Amino acid sequence: MARYTAAIDQGTTSTRAILFDADGRPAGSARREHRQILPRPGWVEHDAMEIWQGTVEVLGGALASCGADPSDVAAIGIANQRETTVLWERATGRPIHNAIVWQDTRTAELVRELSAGEGPDRLRDRVGLPLSTYFSGPKIAWLLDHVDGARRLAQEGELAFGTIDSWLLWNLTGGASGGVHATDVTNASRTMLMDLETLDWHEPSLQLMGIPRSLLGEIRSSSEIYGESRVAPLPGCAVAGMVGDQQAALLGQTCFRAGEAKNTYGTGSFLLMHTGARVARSRALLTTPAAKLGEAPASYALEGSIAVTGAAVQWLRDQLGLIGSAAEVEELARSVQDNGGVYFVPAFSGLFSPHWREDARGAIVGLTAYARAGHIARATLEAAAWQTVEVIEAAVSTAGMELVELRVDGGMTANDLLMQFQADVLGAAVVRPQVIETTALGAGFAAGLAVGMFAGEDDLCERWRADRRWEPSMERSTRERGLRNWRKALARTLDWVDEDSEPSA
């Protein structure tokens, strides 16, 4: 009898596979990093073939790490970086260009053109998103216009588009030899091309961006059997879950009821507040499906997307050399008592929620001769917390719901200093689960539901367990002063980019 679900967590910097048992506990895992390709300032690419090959490798590694046999795995679930865009040839499976990553800003001029007249919110009421470089639609249009022959091939039906979930599903289920071309509602919603209420492709969006419908796969639920794997190490295994990474984390945190919220601290940070069956629209936040589980109606969420949190720690390590590993940032930050008046706004790719300012760039402000590396490290961690406060305030205001606690996950939750500061400046409890790999767990839950390993949402809730809880202890006046200073620092980052301010390649 199958004992595990195999969850693929395909992220911005690495691909991980984790086997989860019937209690939702990890039994084996493997991880592989992939290259970050940076051709020009603001451009970020991935090699889609490298990601696919790494996925196969980590699936085998996860099995080997716990001595599992392929027959022990009931189903495969996929969680993925969402907006990252791949176009490939249907006949060969060859990508026509590197994948364009969600952080990439090369489509800024196109987005300005699309926004002309009616503004960046011209599609928001139908698709839940503003026109932005963040989403897949403009990236598809850029590829069609800048890769030789791409538009002709697309119009002839010879190309396929996918976010990474579609790319992996297609390859797992046979690729050029009959691979399934599909996506789920959570990933489709991040293209700027899906109608939130009909859960189908939105024709006016396709026409606006010049995208042939023939490029697009079928939109399906987040939990169903899409097909069988036709590749080692799991031939014949059902591929039965696909969820965008942040919705997967919401599922893994078992936030199924309106008002429940989670924040994932990864390369960026992503706050999702569940709104139930209600499509809650906001100009500051994104409206997105939370999930569609099998034949059940879709549920929805408000999302606050923060471009840079963990990536700022990586920047301290890789570009400034202040730390040797990401884990060292807490020790360096604890070498000082406070931030020394230093605030760091890591607007490396502009600002996402709730500001949506692509003209912003990063700034470290409040520097005096007193400031040293510890203050910059502390300001880096605090930036993650302050940005989270802003998106939660916007979500609470839009949804009209009080936040009782925030469930957290992702690599930065191992940083106790950050988690206590988050609770302090949020004024609400912060709770970390025993299984912090909730993105992968959500993919495992989705796959397990589809094949009957789990009975339903209540069954999943019984498998969620808290590890640690932080309660706020900061005085209100201190919190308000810090937020005021953060907003002053953020204001300094705006209006930085104009037509001739960006350095050339």
Predicted confidence at residue 33, as pLDDT, reads 94
Place of tokens 């720690």: 313
Rounded to the nearest angstrom, the gap between the alpha carbon of residue 46 and the centroid of all alpha carbons in its chain is 15
Residue 462: CB atoms within 10 Å: 12
CB 19 within 8 Å of CB 68: yes
Residues 6 or more apart in contact with residue 167 via CB below 8 angstroms: 48, 51, 52, 86, 88, 99
Which class in CATH covers the domain with range 4-255?
alpha beta
Residue 145: CB atoms within 10 Å: 11
Report which DSSP code applies to 105. -
Closest residue by Cα to residue 161 from 339, 147, 66: 147
The per-residue b/e assignment along 264-291, b for 16 or more CB within 10 angstroms, e otherwise, is bbbbbbbbbbbbbeebbebebbbbbbbb
pTM above 0.85, yes or no: yes
Predicted confidence at residue 505, as pLDDT, reads 46
Show me where the domains of the chain are located: 4-255
CA-to-CA dists, residue 266 to 11, 142, 457, angstroms: 9, 27, 26
Per-10-residue mean pLDDT for the chain, 505 residues long? Answer: 91 95 94 94 95 97 96 97 97 98 93 91 93 94 97 96 98 97 98 96 97 97 97 96 95 93 90 93 92 95 92 95 95 96 94 89 96 97 97 92 90 95 96 93 97 93 94 95 97 85 52
Residue 147: exposure state from Cβ atoms within 10 A (0-12, 13-18, ≥19):
middle
